[in-house]
Structure 1
Amino acid sequence: MNNQLDNRDEEGMIASILAGDTQLYHELIRPYERSVYMMALTYMKNEADAEDIAQEAFLKAFRNLASFRAEAKFSTWLISITLNEARSRLRQKSAVRMESIDEPVEEGGSVSPAMLRDWKEIPSETVERGEVRQLLQDAVTSLPEIYRGVFILRDIQELSVNETAEALQISISSVKVRLHRARMMLQKQLAPQLRQVAPKSKRRWMPWS
Protein backbone atom coordinates (compact mmCIF):
# COMPACT_ATOMS: atom_id res chain seq x y z
CA MET A 1 0.00 0.00 0.00
CA ASN A 2 1.63 3.18 -1.16
CA ASN A 3 0.90 6.82 -0.35
CA GLN A 4 -0.03 6.03 3.20
CA LEU A 5 -0.43 8.74 5.78
CA ASP A 6 2.18 9.13 8.44
CA ASN A 7 1.29 7.00 11.48
CA ARG A 8 1.20 10.08 13.68
CA ASP A 9 -1.17 11.81 11.28
CA GLU A 10 -3.41 8.74 11.27
CA GLU A 11 -3.45 8.59 15.06
CA GLY A 12 -4.47 12.23 15.21
CA MET A 13 -7.18 11.76 12.60
CA ILE A 14 -8.55 8.69 14.37
CA ALA A 15 -8.67 10.57 17.67
CA SER A 16 -10.53 13.45 15.99
CA ILE A 17 -12.99 11.07 14.32
CA LEU A 18 -13.71 9.34 17.61
CA ALA A 19 -14.20 12.77 19.17
CA GLY A 20 -16.95 13.53 16.67
CA ASP A 21 -15.30 14.86 13.51
CA THR A 22 -16.58 12.00 11.39
CA GLN A 23 -15.98 13.82 8.09
CA LEU A 24 -12.27 13.14 8.56
CA TYR A 25 -12.90 9.45 8.00
CA HIS A 26 -12.98 10.00 4.24
CA GLU A 27 -9.48 11.44 4.40
CA LEU A 28 -8.29 8.58 6.60
CA ILE A 29 -9.36 5.86 4.19
CA ARG A 30 -8.64 7.69 0.93
CA PRO A 31 -5.07 6.28 0.54
CA TYR A 32 -6.41 2.74 0.87
CA GLU A 33 -9.53 2.83 -1.28
CA ARG A 34 -7.96 1.31 -4.40
CA SER A 35 -5.95 -1.28 -2.47
CA VAL A 36 -9.00 -2.47 -0.57
CA TYR A 37 -11.05 -2.65 -3.76
CA MET A 38 -8.33 -4.59 -5.60
CA MET A 39 -8.02 -7.00 -2.69
CA ALA A 40 -11.76 -7.61 -2.77
CA LEU A 41 -11.79 -7.97 -6.56
CA THR A 42 -9.10 -10.64 -6.46
CA TYR A 43 -11.26 -12.67 -4.11
CA MET A 44 -14.68 -12.07 -5.64
CA LYS A 45 -13.78 -11.99 -9.38
CA ASN A 46 -16.74 -9.66 -9.84
CA GLU A 47 -16.59 -5.86 -9.82
CA ALA A 48 -20.00 -5.35 -8.25
CA ASP A 49 -19.26 -7.81 -5.44
CA ALA A 50 -15.83 -6.27 -4.94
CA GLU A 51 -17.36 -2.82 -4.58
CA ASP A 52 -19.82 -4.19 -2.02
CA ILE A 53 -17.01 -5.86 -0.07
CA ALA A 54 -14.89 -2.71 -0.08
CA GLN A 55 -17.83 -0.56 1.03
CA GLU A 56 -18.73 -2.96 3.82
CA ALA A 57 -15.10 -3.15 4.96
CA PHE A 58 -14.89 0.63 5.25
CA LEU A 59 -18.22 0.75 7.10
CA LYS A 60 -17.14 -1.94 9.55
CA ALA A 61 -13.84 -0.19 10.11
CA PHE A 62 -15.72 3.02 10.91
CA ARG A 63 -18.16 1.31 13.27
CA ASN A 64 -15.32 -0.43 15.09
CA LEU A 65 -12.78 2.38 14.99
CA ALA A 66 -12.84 2.69 18.77
CA SER A 67 -11.50 -0.87 19.03
CA PHE A 68 -8.52 -0.16 16.78
CA ARG A 69 -5.26 -0.70 18.66
CA ALA A 70 -2.88 2.20 18.03
CA GLU A 71 0.19 -0.03 18.18
CA ALA A 72 -0.97 -1.73 14.98
CA LYS A 73 -1.00 -0.12 11.54
CA PHE A 74 -4.39 1.11 10.40
CA SER A 75 -3.75 -0.29 6.91
CA THR A 76 -3.06 -3.78 8.31
CA TRP A 77 -6.21 -3.66 10.42
CA LEU A 78 -8.24 -2.50 7.42
CA ILE A 79 -6.87 -5.33 5.27
CA SER A 80 -7.84 -7.85 7.95
CA ILE A 81 -11.41 -6.56 7.88
CA THR A 82 -11.49 -6.73 4.08
CA LEU A 83 -10.19 -10.30 4.03
CA ASN A 84 -12.69 -11.43 6.63
CA GLU A 85 -15.56 -9.79 4.74
CA ALA A 86 -14.49 -11.39 1.45
CA ARG A 87 -14.20 -14.83 3.05
CA SER A 88 -17.59 -14.43 4.69
CA ARG A 89 -19.20 -13.37 1.42
CA LEU A 90 -17.68 -16.32 -0.44
CA ARG A 91 -18.98 -18.74 2.15
CA GLN A 92 -22.44 -17.20 1.93
CA LYS A 93 -22.50 -17.38 -1.84
CA SER A 94 -20.93 -20.86 -1.87
CA ALA A 95 -19.26 -19.66 -5.04
CA VAL A 96 -16.04 -21.54 -4.45
CA ARG A 97 -14.78 -24.30 -2.21
CA MET A 98 -13.07 -22.53 0.65
CA GLU A 99 -9.99 -24.08 2.20
CA SER A 100 -9.62 -23.70 5.94
CA ILE A 101 -7.22 -20.97 7.02
CA ASP A 102 -6.19 -23.41 9.72
CA GLU A 103 -5.04 -26.02 7.20
CA PRO A 104 -1.68 -27.34 8.40
CA VAL A 105 1.30 -25.94 6.55
CA GLU A 106 4.60 -27.75 6.61
CA GLU A 107 6.92 -25.33 8.33
CA GLY A 108 9.94 -27.56 8.64
CA GLY A 109 12.66 -28.29 6.13
CA SER A 110 14.46 -26.02 3.75
CA VAL A 111 12.57 -23.90 1.26
CA SER A 112 14.35 -23.30 -2.00
CA PRO A 113 13.78 -19.92 -3.70
CA ALA A 114 10.89 -19.93 -6.12
CA MET A 115 11.85 -19.48 -9.74
CA LEU A 116 9.16 -16.85 -10.05
CA ARG A 117 10.65 -14.56 -7.43
CA ASP A 118 8.43 -11.63 -8.20
CA TRP A 119 5.53 -11.28 -10.62
CA LYS A 120 6.74 -7.73 -11.29
CA GLU A 121 9.79 -9.19 -13.08
CA ILE A 122 7.56 -9.64 -16.12
CA PRO A 123 8.36 -6.76 -18.52
CA SER A 124 6.06 -3.77 -18.04
CA GLU A 125 5.26 -3.56 -21.75
CA THR A 126 4.05 -7.17 -21.58
CA VAL A 127 1.96 -6.66 -18.45
CA GLU A 128 0.33 -3.61 -20.02
CA ARG A 129 -1.27 -5.83 -22.64
CA GLY A 130 -4.84 -6.56 -21.65
CA GLU A 131 -4.61 -10.28 -22.37
CA VAL A 132 -1.60 -10.63 -20.06
CA ARG A 133 -3.26 -8.63 -17.28
CA GLN A 134 -6.22 -10.99 -17.53
CA LEU A 135 -3.95 -14.04 -17.42
CA LEU A 136 -2.27 -12.73 -14.28
CA GLN A 137 -5.55 -11.88 -12.59
CA ASP A 138 -7.07 -15.26 -13.45
CA ALA A 139 -3.97 -17.06 -12.19
CA VAL A 140 -3.98 -15.22 -8.87
CA THR A 141 -7.71 -15.76 -8.31
CA SER A 142 -7.26 -19.47 -9.03
CA LEU A 143 -4.79 -19.89 -6.17
CA PRO A 144 -6.11 -21.74 -3.11
CA GLU A 145 -7.29 -19.18 -0.58
CA ILE A 146 -4.52 -19.75 1.96
CA TYR A 147 -1.88 -19.00 -0.67
CA ARG A 148 -3.78 -16.29 -2.51
CA GLY A 149 -4.06 -14.05 0.55
CA VAL A 150 -0.34 -14.18 1.29
CA PHE A 151 0.58 -13.54 -2.35
CA ILE A 152 -1.74 -10.55 -2.63
CA LEU A 153 -0.49 -8.95 0.57
CA ARG A 154 3.22 -9.54 -0.07
CA ASP A 155 3.66 -9.24 -3.84
CA ILE A 156 0.77 -6.98 -4.83
CA GLN A 157 -0.05 -4.89 -1.77
CA GLU A 158 3.67 -4.98 -0.80
CA LEU A 159 3.10 -5.44 2.91
CA SER A 160 6.06 -6.62 4.95
CA VAL A 161 6.32 -10.20 6.21
CA ASN A 162 5.37 -9.05 9.71
CA GLU A 163 2.40 -7.01 8.48
CA THR A 164 1.18 -9.93 6.37
CA ALA A 165 1.44 -12.31 9.31
CA GLU A 166 -0.48 -9.86 11.47
CA ALA A 167 -3.21 -9.29 8.88
CA LEU A 168 -3.73 -13.01 8.29
CA GLN A 169 -3.12 -13.97 11.92
CA ILE A 170 -0.55 -16.61 11.00
CA SER A 171 3.12 -17.07 11.83
CA ILE A 172 5.95 -15.41 9.93
CA SER A 173 7.25 -18.81 8.85
CA SER A 174 3.82 -19.65 7.42
CA VAL A 175 3.88 -16.42 5.42
CA LYS A 176 7.23 -17.37 3.89
CA VAL A 177 6.23 -20.93 3.07
CA ARG A 178 2.85 -19.97 1.62
CA LEU A 179 4.35 -17.18 -0.49
CA HIS A 180 6.92 -19.59 -1.90
CA ARG A 181 4.21 -22.09 -2.79
CA ALA A 182 2.00 -19.42 -4.32
CA ARG A 183 4.85 -18.25 -6.56
CA MET A 184 5.61 -21.81 -7.65
CA MET A 185 1.95 -22.43 -8.48
CA LEU A 186 1.80 -19.24 -10.52
CA GLN A 187 5.02 -20.10 -12.29
CA LYS A 188 3.68 -23.51 -13.29
CA GLN A 189 0.41 -22.04 -14.56
CA LEU A 190 1.71 -18.89 -16.23
CA ALA A 191 4.98 -20.01 -17.82
CA PRO A 192 3.49 -21.74 -20.90
CA GLN A 193 0.81 -19.08 -21.36
CA LEU A 194 3.21 -16.14 -21.13
CA ARG A 195 5.62 -17.77 -23.56
CA GLN A 196 2.86 -17.59 -26.12
CA VAL A 197 1.93 -13.94 -25.60
CA ALA A 198 5.26 -12.37 -24.58
CA PRO A 199 7.49 -11.09 -27.40
CA LYS A 200 10.32 -13.53 -28.10
CA SER A 201 12.84 -10.70 -27.84
CA LYS A 202 11.78 -10.12 -24.25
CA ARG A 203 11.84 -13.71 -23.06
CA ARG A 204 15.31 -13.34 -21.63
CA TRP A 205 13.67 -11.27 -18.86
CA MET A 206 11.26 -14.01 -17.91
CA PRO A 207 12.45 -15.66 -14.66
CA TRP A 208 11.47 -19.13 -15.89
CA SER A 209 13.13 -18.89 -19.31
Structure 2
Amino acid sequence: MAAEIANRDEARMIASILDGDVQLYHQLIRPYERSVYVMSLCYMKNEADAEDVAQEAFLKAYCHLASFRGEAKFSTWLVGIALNEARGRLRRDGAVRMESIDQTSEEGGHVLPAILHDWREIPSETLERKEVQQMLQAAIAGLPNIYREVFLLRDVDELSIIETAEALTTSISNVKMRLHRARTMLQKTLAPRLKHMNQRVADFHGPRIDR
Protein backbone atom coordinates (compact mmCIF):
# COMPACT_ATOMS: atom_id res chain seq x y z
CA MET A 1 0.00 0.00 0.00
CA ALA A 2 2.79 2.44 0.89
CA ALA A 3 4.51 1.72 -2.43
CA GLU A 4 1.28 2.37 -4.33
CA ILE A 5 0.82 5.69 -2.54
CA ALA A 6 4.42 6.66 -3.32
CA ASN A 7 3.94 5.76 -6.98
CA ARG A 8 0.76 7.86 -7.16
CA ASP A 9 2.57 10.78 -5.51
CA GLU A 10 5.41 10.48 -8.02
CA ALA A 11 2.93 10.35 -10.88
CA ARG A 12 1.34 13.58 -9.64
CA MET A 13 4.74 15.21 -9.24
CA ILE A 14 5.77 14.21 -12.76
CA ALA A 15 2.51 15.59 -14.16
CA SER A 16 3.11 18.88 -12.31
CA ILE A 17 6.70 19.08 -13.60
CA LEU A 18 5.54 18.52 -17.16
CA ASP A 19 2.96 21.27 -16.61
CA GLY A 20 5.74 23.70 -15.77
CA ASP A 21 6.51 23.31 -12.05
CA VAL A 22 10.15 22.44 -12.75
CA GLN A 23 11.27 23.07 -9.16
CA LEU A 24 9.52 19.84 -8.15
CA TYR A 25 12.10 17.86 -10.11
CA HIS A 26 14.66 18.25 -7.33
CA GLN A 27 12.16 16.79 -4.88
CA LEU A 28 11.34 13.96 -7.26
CA ILE A 29 14.93 12.77 -7.69
CA ARG A 30 16.21 13.46 -4.16
CA PRO A 31 15.40 9.94 -2.79
CA TYR A 32 17.37 8.35 -5.63
CA GLU A 33 20.48 10.52 -5.75
CA ARG A 34 22.55 8.06 -3.70
CA SER A 35 21.48 5.02 -5.74
CA VAL A 36 22.32 6.72 -9.02
CA TYR A 37 25.68 7.93 -7.72
CA VAL A 38 26.65 4.52 -6.27
CA MET A 39 25.72 2.77 -9.50
CA SER A 40 27.73 5.33 -11.48
CA LEU A 41 30.71 4.91 -9.16
CA CYS A 42 30.69 1.13 -9.55
CA TYR A 43 31.35 1.67 -13.25
CA MET A 44 33.61 4.69 -13.33
CA LYS A 45 35.77 3.86 -10.26
CA ASN A 46 36.40 7.58 -9.93
CA GLU A 47 34.30 9.98 -7.84
CA ALA A 48 34.55 12.90 -10.25
CA ASP A 49 33.55 10.78 -13.25
CA ALA A 50 30.76 9.15 -11.24
CA GLU A 51 29.39 12.58 -10.33
CA ASP A 52 29.47 13.58 -14.02
CA VAL A 53 27.60 10.42 -15.00
CA ALA A 54 25.01 10.92 -12.26
CA GLN A 55 24.44 14.54 -13.21
CA GLU A 56 24.11 13.62 -16.88
CA ALA A 57 21.63 10.87 -15.97
CA PHE A 58 19.48 13.31 -13.98
CA LEU A 59 19.60 15.80 -16.85
CA LYS A 60 18.62 13.19 -19.43
CA ALA A 61 15.81 11.95 -17.18
CA TYR A 62 14.50 15.50 -16.97
CA CYS A 63 14.74 16.05 -20.71
CA HIS A 64 12.94 12.78 -21.42
CA LEU A 65 10.48 12.89 -18.52
CA ALA A 66 7.53 13.05 -20.92
CA SER A 67 8.53 9.61 -22.24
CA PHE A 68 8.17 8.00 -18.81
CA ARG A 69 4.98 5.96 -18.98
CA GLY A 70 4.87 4.54 -15.47
CA GLU A 71 5.15 0.95 -16.67
CA ALA A 72 8.14 0.57 -14.32
CA LYS A 73 8.90 2.46 -11.14
CA PHE A 74 10.44 5.89 -11.68
CA SER A 75 13.50 4.83 -9.64
CA THR A 76 14.02 1.80 -11.90
CA TRP A 77 13.73 3.97 -15.01
CA LEU A 78 16.18 6.48 -13.55
CA VAL A 79 18.78 3.86 -12.62
CA GLY A 80 18.47 2.41 -16.13
CA ILE A 81 19.34 5.81 -17.60
CA ALA A 82 22.38 6.05 -15.32
CA LEU A 83 23.52 2.57 -16.37
CA ASN A 84 23.23 3.43 -20.04
CA GLU A 85 25.11 6.69 -19.52
CA ALA A 86 27.96 4.96 -17.67
CA ARG A 87 28.21 2.17 -20.24
CA GLY A 88 28.14 4.64 -23.10
CA ARG A 89 30.87 6.76 -21.55
CA LEU A 90 33.10 3.72 -21.04
CA ARG A 91 32.56 2.63 -24.64
CA ARG A 92 33.36 6.12 -25.92
CA ASP A 93 36.47 6.40 -23.79
CA GLY A 94 37.60 2.89 -24.68
CA ALA A 95 38.29 2.37 -21.00
CA VAL A 96 36.90 -1.13 -20.76
CA ARG A 97 35.52 -3.85 -22.98
CA MET A 98 32.11 -4.78 -21.70
CA GLU A 99 31.81 -8.46 -20.92
CA SER A 100 29.51 -10.61 -22.98
CA ILE A 101 28.09 -13.79 -21.53
CA ASP A 102 26.01 -16.16 -23.57
CA GLN A 103 22.36 -16.00 -22.50
CA THR A 104 21.81 -19.72 -22.58
CA SER A 105 24.92 -20.47 -20.54
CA GLU A 106 23.72 -18.08 -17.83
CA GLU A 107 20.27 -19.53 -17.64
CA GLY A 108 21.24 -23.17 -17.90
CA GLY A 109 24.83 -23.30 -16.69
CA HIS A 110 26.20 -24.92 -13.58
CA VAL A 111 25.82 -22.87 -10.42
CA LEU A 112 28.80 -22.86 -8.09
CA PRO A 113 27.84 -23.84 -4.54
CA ALA A 114 28.11 -21.07 -1.95
CA ILE A 115 30.96 -21.56 0.50
CA LEU A 116 29.38 -19.47 3.22
CA HIS A 117 25.90 -18.33 4.09
CA ASP A 118 24.53 -15.18 2.48
CA TRP A 119 27.09 -12.36 2.88
CA ARG A 120 24.47 -10.30 4.72
CA GLU A 121 24.65 -12.77 7.61
CA ILE A 122 28.06 -11.46 8.64
CA PRO A 123 27.44 -10.00 12.12
CA SER A 124 26.50 -6.34 11.94
CA GLU A 125 29.06 -5.40 14.58
CA THR A 126 31.76 -6.79 12.28
CA LEU A 127 30.47 -4.94 9.25
CA GLU A 128 30.58 -1.73 11.24
CA ARG A 129 34.33 -1.97 11.60
CA LYS A 130 36.05 0.36 9.18
CA GLU A 131 38.52 -2.27 8.07
CA VAL A 132 35.79 -4.69 7.07
CA GLN A 133 33.82 -1.99 5.32
CA GLN A 134 36.89 -1.24 3.24
CA MET A 135 37.32 -4.96 2.49
CA LEU A 136 33.72 -5.22 1.36
CA GLN A 137 33.94 -2.12 -0.81
CA ALA A 138 37.12 -3.38 -2.45
CA ALA A 139 35.60 -6.82 -3.03
CA ILE A 140 32.50 -5.31 -4.64
CA ALA A 141 34.66 -3.05 -6.82
CA GLY A 142 36.57 -6.15 -7.96
CA LEU A 143 33.48 -7.90 -9.28
CA PRO A 144 32.96 -7.96 -13.06
CA ASN A 145 30.48 -5.27 -14.08
CA ILE A 146 27.57 -7.59 -14.86
CA TYR A 147 27.76 -9.09 -11.36
CA ARG A 148 28.57 -5.87 -9.51
CA GLU A 149 25.59 -3.99 -10.94
CA VAL A 150 23.15 -6.78 -9.99
CA PHE A 151 24.61 -7.00 -6.49
CA LEU A 152 24.36 -3.24 -5.93
CA LEU A 153 20.82 -2.97 -7.24
CA ARG A 154 19.53 -6.02 -5.38
CA ASP A 155 21.49 -6.16 -2.11
CA VAL A 156 22.54 -2.54 -1.59
CA ASP A 157 19.72 -0.51 -3.13
CA GLU A 158 17.26 -3.33 -2.29
CA LEU A 159 15.39 -3.33 -5.58
CA SER A 160 13.23 -6.38 -6.16
CA ILE A 161 14.26 -9.10 -8.61
CA ILE A 162 11.73 -7.78 -11.13
CA GLU A 163 12.87 -4.15 -10.71
CA THR A 164 16.51 -5.19 -11.09
CA ALA A 165 15.70 -7.07 -14.29
CA GLU A 166 13.83 -4.04 -15.63
CA ALA A 167 16.69 -1.67 -14.80
CA LEU A 168 19.22 -3.93 -16.51
CA THR A 169 16.89 -4.90 -19.38
CA THR A 170 17.59 -8.57 -18.81
CA SER A 171 15.60 -11.60 -17.70
CA ILE A 172 14.65 -12.47 -14.14
CA SER A 173 16.56 -15.75 -14.45
CA ASN A 174 19.70 -13.85 -15.45
CA VAL A 175 19.35 -11.56 -12.43
CA LYS A 176 19.05 -14.55 -10.11
CA MET A 177 22.04 -16.29 -11.69
CA ARG A 178 24.25 -13.19 -11.65
CA LEU A 179 23.27 -12.35 -8.07
CA HIS A 180 24.15 -15.86 -6.93
CA ARG A 181 27.52 -15.68 -8.66
CA ALA A 182 28.21 -12.21 -7.25
CA ARG A 183 27.51 -13.38 -3.70
CA THR A 184 29.63 -16.48 -4.22
CA MET A 185 32.57 -14.41 -5.51
CA LEU A 186 32.30 -12.04 -2.56
CA GLN A 187 32.14 -14.94 -0.12
CA LYS A 188 35.26 -16.52 -1.60
CA THR A 189 37.11 -13.21 -1.47
CA LEU A 190 36.02 -12.15 2.00
CA ALA A 191 36.01 -15.47 3.89
CA PRO A 192 39.81 -15.88 4.31
CA ARG A 193 40.29 -12.18 5.04
CA LEU A 194 37.60 -12.13 7.70
CA LYS A 195 39.00 -15.30 9.24
CA HIS A 196 42.47 -13.75 9.39
CA MET A 197 41.14 -10.52 10.87
CA ASN A 198 39.05 -12.32 13.50
CA GLN A 199 42.11 -14.34 14.48
CA ARG A 200 44.07 -11.10 14.97
CA VAL A 201 41.31 -9.77 17.19
CA ALA A 202 41.27 -12.99 19.21
CA ASP A 203 45.06 -12.91 19.61
CA PHE A 204 44.90 -9.29 20.74
CA HIS A 205 42.31 -9.96 23.43
CA GLY A 206 43.94 -13.19 24.56
CA PRO A 207 42.24 -16.48 25.52
CA ARG A 208 38.78 -16.31 27.05
CA ILE A 209 38.69 -17.17 30.76
CA ASP A 210 35.44 -18.61 32.09
CA ARG A 211 34.49 -17.34 35.49
Both structures adopt the same fold (TM-score exceeding 0.5)? yes
Structure 2 matches for 1:17-166, cutoff 5 A? 17-100=17-100, 105-108=105-108, 111=111, 114-166=114-166
Query: Could you tell me whether the CA contact under 8 Å between 2:37 and 2:50 is conserved in 1?
Result: yes
Conserved? CA contact 1:135–1:190, under 8 Å: yes
Structure 1 counterpart of 2:40, one-letter code: A
Q: What is the one-letter code of the residue matched to 1:71?
A: E
Work out whether residues 53 and 86 of structure 2, in 8 Å CA contact, stay in contact via their aligned partners in 1. yes
User: What is the aligned length?
Assistant: 199
**1:150-199 deviations in Å (ceiling 9; x for gaps):** 11111111111111111111111111111111111111111112222244
Asked if 2 retains the 8 angstrom alpha-carbon contact of 1:4 and 1:32, the reply is no
Which whole-Å CA distance do the structure 2 matches of 1:101 and 1:63 have between them?
33
Letter in 1 for 2:45: K
CA distance in 2, matches of 1:99, 1:129: 33
- Supply the AA of the counterpart residue of 2:152: I
> Is the 2:111–2:181 Cα contact (8 Å) retained in structure 1?
no
Residue segments in structure 1 that go unaligned for 5+ positions in a row: 202-209
Name the CA distance, whole Å, in 2 between partners of 1:64 and 1:117: 42
Deviation at residue 200 of structure 1 after TM alignment: 4.9
Q: Which runs of 5+ in 2 are unaligned?
A: 204-211
1:40 touches 1:54 (CA, 8 Å); kept in 2?
Answer: yes
Worse-matched range after superposition: 61-70 or 44-53: 44-53
Q: Percent identity?
A: 69
Q: Per-residue deviation at 1:63? A: 0.6
Change in Cα spacing, 1:134 to 1:12, as seen in structure 2 (3 Å) is same
Q: Which has the larger displacement, 100-109 or 74-83?
A: 100-109
Q: Which is greater in Rg? A: 2
